[in-house]
A and B are shown apart, each in its own frame.
Chain A
Amino acid sequence: MRRLVTDTLIIAERNLIRLPRRPELLLAFTVQPIMFVLLFRYVFGGAIYTGGVPYVEYLIPGIIVQNVAFGGFVTALGLNDDMHKGLIDRFRSLPMARAAVLAGRTSADVVTNFLGICILVITGLIIGFVFHAPLLHVVAGFALLLLIGYAFSWVFALVGLVASTPESANSVGFIVIFPLTFISSAFVPVATMPEPLKTFAQVNPFTIFVDAMRALWIGTPAGNYVWGAVVWAVVILVVFAPLAVARYRRTAGS
């Protein structure tokens, strides 16, 4: 167990060291999400009616959830790259904890997700977002976002190990997961959608995540959303982490 923690930290460190050396990665974490916030706020926002809540307040929790769900995407690309370059073979030939390569990656994602959340919150505050909740709820919101991001990092870890190339990992991300985030309450009220999208959106975990964040940050009725979101995130984590580790153990590399 101590071995797992030590090795995980070593791998996490490796993945974080490279961030400042890869400006294009840093841009993906910062400029790109800010651009999306501005586009939605100023281009679409005026035309979307959200029932009394100013759109900027409606938007920020939604777009941050989308963003942390995708935070693990670098894990998919990075693992795939490591496989093709033979690094996974090297790691697997070393006397290190088996799960550490994946745990290190996903832990590093927590750090980058936290940075991403801070950048988006600051951007939101500048363009008119206001927290309508006690400090404790705001902090709980940060924690929930990190948990969601961590769970999805494991989904992407599996995607990265299964995909034959970085391009196909990319496709899985953008063809499967990206639409899921849109058919939810993240950007528009679900009630405005036609059937059967509406029904799907109502049960989509992204809707539950986003509604939980709105409850925590702008004081909308909480219902069971917060606990529902925690349960969903934990379920995703409990399902995908063992799958990814099992896949890593028997992965043949390139």
Chain B
Amino acid sequence: MSVTDEAQRPEARTSDGDAAIVVRGVVKTFGEVQALGGVDLEVRKGTVLGLLGPNGAGKTTLVRVLTTLLLPDAGTATVDGLDVVRDAGALRHRIGLAGQYAAVDENLTGLENLTMVGRLYGASRADAKRRGAELLESFDLTDAGDRVTSTYSGGMRRRLDLAAALVAKPPVVFLDEPTTGLDPRSRITLWETIEALVSGGTTVLLTTQYLDEADRLADSITVIDHGRVIASGTSDELKDRVGGERVEVVLENPADCERAVAALEPMAAEAPTAHDSLVSVPVRTRRGVIAEAVRLLTDEGIGVEDINLRRPTLDDVFLTLTGHAAEEAAEAGEGDHAS
């Protein structure tokens, strides 16, 4: 499933003109801590890659390597065809970065912030100002454009930060946890903004801890933990990996658990599992399974409090792949590399 598995050797650079980001065997160590332990990934032009992982997984380190802020210890990476080490200077013209913090100057107005960034990209003051006003307009910040950004809400700052990353219309944009710490409404607004951006053909690498965010925005997802890629594929592929559809039954009486498992056995694709009063039954099809489960249980006189048909969420994927403990995650990582 993983698109990167066969390319373990760093020199195995694809000549695929379709890839906007190619990462091969990138290693980065800070003192004793290995932040990136040989990461491989690829992002096709005009798509969104969701880089998913818990805190400290190495997401930000990878973004910093790809945006020329950190030198990798080993491996190679190209963005828009330019090497992140050798062509760093040229590459900086072709990328935009919105970091984990809303990196805007609080003492400047929204327009002044965007104008400054535009001029630092090399535009004239007038051009930078025009582009700034245009971005404020499309980010719904025009009214606040002349206000000092210390008066902005968290969501407005993030939008301004994102706008600053787009000043030079870069073909590749890196968004490092763009919605962390935002209220739900601001998140949705920002998601819509990012969707509009992608529909314009920009390639986006997005890091996030939020599975719903990756599910909604990303064309493909790479899960990393402890600096290693432990899975990659589309959202559906990852979910299939954890298992197909399940009927979940909440029993009125937890004591009925064993009887319920036995009763549901005939309709299950694999052995049902039980946890407290929740019985989970893997099934092959969606059709009629709820009615059948209810009939089987009613025949046995087992009371049902709640029943539903459930697909695995990315949360399930994440838990399955990374496990709860560090050791489990490390094992999962090795298993995946072999697959």
Q: Which residues of B contact A14 (CB under 8 A)?
A: 105, 108, 112, 116
A31 within 8 A of B: no
**If A14-B108, A18-B108, A90-B164 touch, does A96 touch B69 (CB 8 Å cutoff)?**
no
- The answer on a CB contact under 8 Å between A21 and B107 is yes
Interface residue? B269 (CB, 8 A): no
A95 is an interface residue with CB less than 8 A from chain B: yes
- Segment at the B interface, from A69-77, A81-89, A123-131: A81-89
Whether A93 pairs with B121 at a CB distance below 8 angstroms is no
Q: Is the CB of B105 within 8 A of A93?
A: no
B92 (CB) vs chain A CBs: closest residue = A95
Contact of A85 with B68 at beta-carbon distance under 8 Å, contacts A91-B120, A95-B93 already known? no
Give the CA-CA distance A18 to B105 in the complex, in Å. 9
Chain B residues lying within 8 Å of A85, measured Cβ to Cβ, are: 101-103, 106
- The 0/1 profile, CB within 8 Å of B marked 1, for residues 13-52 of chain A is 0100110011000000000000000000000000000000
In the bound assembly, the distance between CA atoms of A190 and B106 in angstroms comes to 45
CB distance from A109 to the nearest CB of B (A): 16
A residues contacting the other copy or chain, number (CB 8 A)? 24
**Contact assessment for A10 and B120 in the assembled complex, using a CB-CB cutoff below 8 Å:** yes
Distance between A187 CB and nearest chain B CB, rounded to angstroms? 34
Chain B interface residue count, Cβ-Cβ cutoff 8 angstroms: 29
A17 near B107 with CB under 8 A, answer yes
- Residues of chain A lying within 8 A (CB to CB) of residue B122: 3, 95
Residues of B within 8 A of A91 (CB): 120
B99 at the interface (CB under 8 A from A): yes
The answer on a CB contact under 8 Å between B108 and A90 is no
B95 within 8 A of A: yes
In the bound complex, residues from chain A placing their C-beta under 8 Å from that of B105 are: 14, 18, 87
Residues from 1 to 17 in A contacting B, C-beta threshold 8 Å: 3, 6-7, 10, 14, 17
Q: A residues within 8 A CB of B64? A: 89
When C-beta atoms are compared, the residue in chain B nearest to A88 turns out to be B103
Of A22, A84, A93, the residue contacting B67 (CB under 8 A) is A93
Q: Is B120 a contact of A94 with CB atoms below 8 Å?
A: yes
Report chain B residues within 8 Å CB of A95. 89, 92-93, 120-122
Using a CB–CB cutoff of 8 Å, the interface residues on chain B facing chain A are 64, 67-70, 89, 92-93, 95, 97, 99-108, 112, 116-117, 119-122, 148, 164
- Provide a sorted-by-A list of 27 A–B residue pairs whose CB atoms are within 8 angstroms: A3-B122, A6-B119, A10-B116, A10-B119, A14-B108, A17-B107, A17-B108, A17-B112, A18-B105, A18-B108, A21-B107, A21-B148, A84-B101, A85-B101, A86-B99, A86-B100, A86-B101, A89-B69, A90-B117, A90-B164, A92-B69, A93-B92, A94-B120, A95-B89, A96-B120, A252-B70, A253-B69
